[in-house]
Amino acid sequence: MRSFIFASTLLVSVLPSLAAQVPRTERRRWIAPGTNVTDDPRRIPIPAGYNAPVGTIVLKGGRVWDGTGAPARTATVVITRNHISAILPASSGDWPKDARVIDVAGKTVMPGLIDLHTHIDYRQGGNSDARARSRADGALRGAERLRYYIESGITSLRDTGSDGETPFLLKEWINEGRLVGPRIFAAGSIITGRGGHGAEPDIAGGKYLSAVREAAGPADWRDAVREAVAKGADFIKVTSHFSAEEIQAAVDEAHDLGVKITADAETIYIERAVRAGIDMIEHPLPRTDETIRLMAEKKVESDPTLIPYQIIFRLSGGYFGSTSRRFTFSDSANFALVKKMKDAGITLGIGTDLVVDWFQYLPWPYHEEMRNFVKLGYTVPEVLGIATRVNAQMLDMGDKLGTLEVGKLADVLILNGNPDEKLDDIAKVDIVIRDGRVQVQGGQLVYPHHVTLPPPGQAPAPGADIKR
């Protein structure tokens, strides 16, 4: 895969149009249309059909809400390998004879949901420090969490900080079809200044977790970004604190390397990040009205994550013991701040930031965040569009995910209800398809029977379909 040669001479005629489409990820302008690349923001050239399943799935006669803004309509969705190959009138039967046909009449067919803020291997309460830092245990924690997300109809996760190796290995297993679960778009280790958010010592063990990369000085911040991208980062996550020079170095390097960068920051650090050209700000943490104005002016997006703070305030009454959270905030203050961002025209996305054992609350936290957006003043169809199309755009994956359109990746959710009319119907998950693979059916995980290889020197059993 690494040895494939890219024909750069094909690019001359396409550079102007592509440049207009990708203002913050300059690397992508050098990829000619039709080039097979990885289905992530890095866009690494790969062979055609790499890791894609074989065959055709037909979702016949469902109520299709495609996420483009069009009203729901009765139609049939045809999936070939891992892409949507056709959306046909319900009366049509134009698909291969050997296709797997699933009758979805009376059900809503829509794009899979996306969660913009997760920590897939986060330690669980009660774990020893040794177990919390074990990469083996972290991978198993991640595998357990993946089940909860995919069963909830969430087909993509944006992992905003996990052990520097674990999320990338889980992503690889998912992409190869060896593990059932949502797509993973991972930052790897978060980058912060010495003693910054995430690098505060754990009260129990006196150490911080391996999902943190401390950096000091602009050169080291630039190196930390390079290290993350070299490991496979789909985007960069930084946290306060940082100097103006440090965050500028990180932003410049991320954009030079072709990935977006987001910040978990507060107060003066948000303004520094926005002035440096950051792409996104996480959380509803305090900032000035001037900073909100700058975010709108510079088109900085926001993943506000109201729900984790609502959980924190319900469980413990406040956010305690953190040197990077030295301010007063509350549910009402958080909501008011996010409303200001909405009114300013800032693009908002939906993420849950479920730490410790909170994933066990799923699907409620994701649905509650959707209801928060309704309270902010969005309509139900708008909220569904944010959970799918807008979140995909914020992932830098809007050309591949977020809507049901011919040519896009086949991440599809089938529900027993009409969530565009009644939002609570989003909980009625029947079938989940991720990358053209049925992952959930009848609300249950689907693990196909393994393919048995013949022992050395023996022919395959009659009817066996052996693929390596």
Between β-strands 83-89 and 108-111, what pairing exists: parallel, antiparallel or unpaired? unpaired
What's the CA gap between 398 and 67, in Å, rounded? 12
Task: Give me the pLDDT at residue 50, please.
Answer: 86
Total residues found in the chain within this entry = 468
pTM: 0.91
Band (pLDDT 50/70/90 cuts) for residue 320 is: confident
pLDDT tens per residue, range 415-461: 999 999 999 999 999 999 999 999 999 999 999 888 888 888 877 66
Cα separation of 318 and 338, whole Å? 19
Mean pLDDT estimate for the chain: 90
Q: Which two tokens stand for residue 216?
A: 């000091």
Transcribe 288-340 into DSSP letters.
-HHHHHHHHHTT-EEE--HHHHHHHHHHHSS--S-TT--S---HHHHHHHHHH
Strands 301-303 and 190-193, sheet pairing = unpaired
Q: How far is Cα 139 from Cα 132, in angstroms, rounded to an integer? A: 11
Q: Which domains does the chain have, with CATH numbers?
A: 1-35 (no CATH), 56-111+409-445 (2.30.40.10), 113-394 (3.20.20.140)
Distances (CA, A) of 156 to 8, 116, 181, 395: 31, 8, 9, 10
**Mind listing the pLDDT tens digit for each residue in 244-284?**
999 999 999 999 999 999 999 999 999 999 999 999 999 99
Query: Tokens 């070299």 — which residue?
Result: 230
Max distance between CA atoms of the chain, in angstroms, equals 73
Q: Which conformational region is residue 446 in: left (phi greater than 0), alpha (psi within -120 to 50 degrees), or beta?
A: beta
Give the 3-state secondary structure of residue 410: coil
